[in-house]
């Protein structure tokens, strides 16, 4: 229960001070339900980013780093407005806003430590083996998909650029995950570092494997897609294995959005801050997997409508090779 204190300031008016939260005692399940992490895990996160949260201040009651992380995680987990988070936890909305901003930025600063593309052959082979166990689809180093995260309409001349084909404002997030559901990267593929890396440095199927994408992606030497009109039994078997294997990334988006409900609703910030919040949630998702935080599998998929593009024939050679070799 929050305690609100009213102080008389001078004789002319009253001023309401920021009130402090009287912390209830949660057991681990109650704590995880509200913050998506146990207390020990939340302390682990705090230790990672505390240097970026504790700054010199003249305030006599600076908010501790652990509490800042709590405020941000409660916002990410519940998707409730910041004012509601503040009223619930006993802090002014401005304090919640600063905590969300600072924690998001701090998590973005360590994103390269938790969102990584597999570089060594040993890492790639482990991921290949994990994907192969799903539906015997060979050579897969990642599954790729996209989802829209709704944002409030931004101000400015480029407002129209954030309207998606479904008619609402959003950030278009594309992600690659491994067989465990851990994010490799999040990006708009063609303009991303990973997109450029795969286009210029991919050494072929045997060395670097392939990504699995749906029919919204072009079929290339490093991205293989399903057959739109399979005309043989081997192509049908290929499609079945492709769908079953690629479903991992759809489940990953489902877990991610279920864990952090802010991604289900509307992020009411400008696009730049929204991108930081989205990235912070991706980092937290991978940390949760690393710490083996429990997450109920809701088996929900993210069903964005794909854009079907014209595919170039020579770019289908890897797909044809896989079909003939493994599914005939």
d(CA 96, CA 187) in angstroms, rounded, equals 28
User: What pLDDT, on a 0 to 100 scale, did the predictor assign at position 45?
Assistant: 98
d(CA 167, CA 146) in angstroms, rounded, equals 17
pLDDT tens per residue across span 127-164: 999 999 999 999 999 999 988 999 999 987 788 889 98
pLDDT > 60? residue 196: yes
CA 88 to chain centre: 26
pLDDT > 70? residue 201: yes
User: What pLDDT, on a 0 to 100 scale, did the predictor assign at position 225?
Assistant: 93
Contacts for 210 with CB less than 8 Å, ≥ 6 apart? 139, 140, 141, 221, 222, 223, 224, 318, 322
What pTM does this model have? 0.81
User: What pLDDT, on a 0 to 100 scale, did the predictor assign at position 188?
Assistant: 44
pLDDT > 90? residue 302: no
Window from 31-35, 298-302, 303-307 with minimum mean pLDDT: 303-307
Contacts for 12 with CB less than 8 Å, ≥ 6 apart? none
Confidence of residue 118 (pLDDT cuts 50, 70, 90): confident
pLDDT tens per residue across span 50-79: 998 976 665 556 899 999 999 999 999 999
Window from 58-62, 94-98, 185-189, 271-275 with minimum mean pLDDT: 185-189
pLDDT > 50? residue 41: yes
- In 10 A of CB 27, how many CB atoms? 10
Q: Rounded to 5 degrees, what are φ and ψ at 144? A: -120, 140
Mean pLDDT of the chain: 82
CA distances from 116 to 45, 193, 208, 224 (A): 18, 12, 15, 21
In this prediction, residues 210-229 reach a mean pLDDT of: 90
User: What pLDDT, on a 0 to 100 scale, did the predictor assign at position 44?
Assistant: 97
- List alpha helices for 63-214, DSSP H: 65-78, 82-89, 93-109, 111-114, 121-135, 193-201, 205-208
């Amino acid at each position: 229960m929050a305690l609100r204190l009213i102080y008389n300031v001078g004789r002319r008016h009253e001023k309401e001070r920021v009130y402090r939260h009287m912390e209830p005692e949660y057991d681990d399940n109650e704590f995880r339900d509200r913050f998506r992490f146990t207390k020990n895990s939340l302390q682990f996160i705090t230790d990672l980013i505390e240097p970026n949260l504790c700054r010199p201040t003249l305030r006599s009651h600076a908010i501790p780093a652990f509490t800042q992380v709590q405020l941000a995680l409660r916002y990410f987990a519940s998707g409730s407005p910041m004012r509601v988070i503040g009223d619930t936890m006993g802090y002014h909305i401005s304090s919640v806003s600063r905590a969300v901003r600072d924690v998001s930025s701090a998590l973005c600063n360590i994103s390269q430590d938790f969102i990584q593309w597999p570089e060594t052959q040993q890492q790639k082979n482990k991921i290949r083996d994990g994907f192969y166990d799903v539906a015997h689809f060979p050579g897969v180093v990642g599954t790729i998909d996209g989802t829209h995260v709704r944002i409030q309409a931004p101000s400015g001349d480029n407002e129209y650029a954030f309207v998606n084909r479904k008619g609402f404002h959003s950030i278009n997030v594309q992600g690659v995950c491994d067989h465990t559901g851990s994010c490799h990267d999040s990006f708009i593929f063609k303009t991303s570092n990973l997109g450029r890396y795969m286009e210029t440095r991919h050494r072929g199927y045997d060395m670097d494997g392939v990504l699995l994408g749906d029919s919204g992606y072009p079929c290339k030497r490093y991205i293989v897609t399903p057959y739109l009109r399979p005309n043989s039994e081997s192509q049908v078997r290929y499609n079945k294995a492709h769908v079953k294997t690629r479903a991992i990334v759809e489940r990953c988006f489902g877990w991610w959005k279920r864990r952090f409900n802010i991604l289900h609703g509307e992020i009411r910030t400008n696009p730049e801050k929204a991108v930081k919040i989205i990235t912070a949630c991706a980092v937290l998702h991978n940390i949760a997997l690393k710490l083996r935080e429990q997450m109920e599998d809701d088996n929900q998929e993210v069903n964005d409508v794909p854009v079907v593009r014209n595919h170039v024939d020579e770019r289908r050679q890897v797909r044809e090779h896989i079909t003939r070799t493994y599914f005939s």
